[in-house]
Amino acid sequence: MTETPAEPRRLRVLAAMSGGVDSAVAAARAAEAGHDVTGVHLALSANPQSFRTGARGCCTIEDSRDARRAADVIGIPFYVWDLAERFREDVVEDFIAEYEAGRTPNPCLRCNEKIKFAALLDKALALGFDAVATGHYAQVIVREDGSRELHRASDMAKDQSYVLGVLDDRQLAHALFPLGDTVTTKDEIRAEAERRGLAVAKKPDSHDICFIADGDTQGFLASRLGKSEGDIVDEAGAKLGTHEGAFGYTIGQRKGLRIGHPAPDGKPRYVLDISPVNNTVTVGPVEALDVVGLTAIKPRWCGSAPPVGVAPYTAQLRAHGDETPVSAEVVGDELKVSFSEPVRGVAPGQAVVLYDGTRVVGSATIATTVRRSVAGV
**Number of domains observed in the structure of the chain:** 3
In angstroms, the CA 72 to CA 70 distance is: 5
Residue 220 in domain? no
- 193 and 50 inside one domain: yes
What average pLDDT score do residues 315-324 get?
92
- 35 and 108 inside one domain: yes
Q: What's the confidence (pLDDT) of residue 145?
A: 85
List the CATH number of the domain containing 256: 2.30.30
List the CATH number of the domain containing 356: 2.40.30.10
List the CATH number of the domain containing 93: 3.40.50.620
pLDDT, tens digit (0-9, with 9 covering 90-100), for 174-217 = 999 999 877 777 889 999 999 999 999 998 877 668 888 777 88
Catalytic residue among 58, 59, 108, 210: 210
- 103 and 186 inside one domain: yes
Catalytic residue among 58, 59, 111, 302: 111
Residue 314 in domain? yes
Q: What's the confidence (pLDDT) of residue 337?
A: 98
- 120 and 258 inside one domain: no
In angstroms, the CA 126 to CA 115 distance is: 15
Contact criterion met (CB below 8 Å) for 274 and 102: yes
What average pLDDT score do residues 300-325 get?
92
pLDDT confidence tier of residue 55, bands split at 50, 70 and 90: very low
Q: What's the confidence (pLDDT) of residue 59?
A: 63
pLDDT, tens digit (0-9, with 9 covering 90-100), for 71-84 = 999 999 999 999 99
pLDDT confidence tier of residue 47, bands split at 50, 70 and 90: low
Predicted model pTM: 0.89
pLDDT, tens digit (0-9, with 9 covering 90-100), for 79-129 = 999 999 999 999 999 999 999 998 999 998 999 899 999 999 999 999 999
- 258 and 301 inside one domain: no
Q: Is 111 designated active site? A: yes
Looking at 202, 219, 253, the residue that finishes a domain is 202
- 184 and 250 inside one domain: no
List the single range of 253-257, 325-329, 354-358 with lowest mean pLDDT. 253-257
In angstroms, the CA 263 to CA 278 distance is: 23
Q: Tell me what the pLDDT averaged over the chain comes to.
A: 89
- 128 and 257 inside one domain: no
Q: Is 58 designated active site? A: no
Nearest to 116 by CA among 154, 159, 57, 163: 163
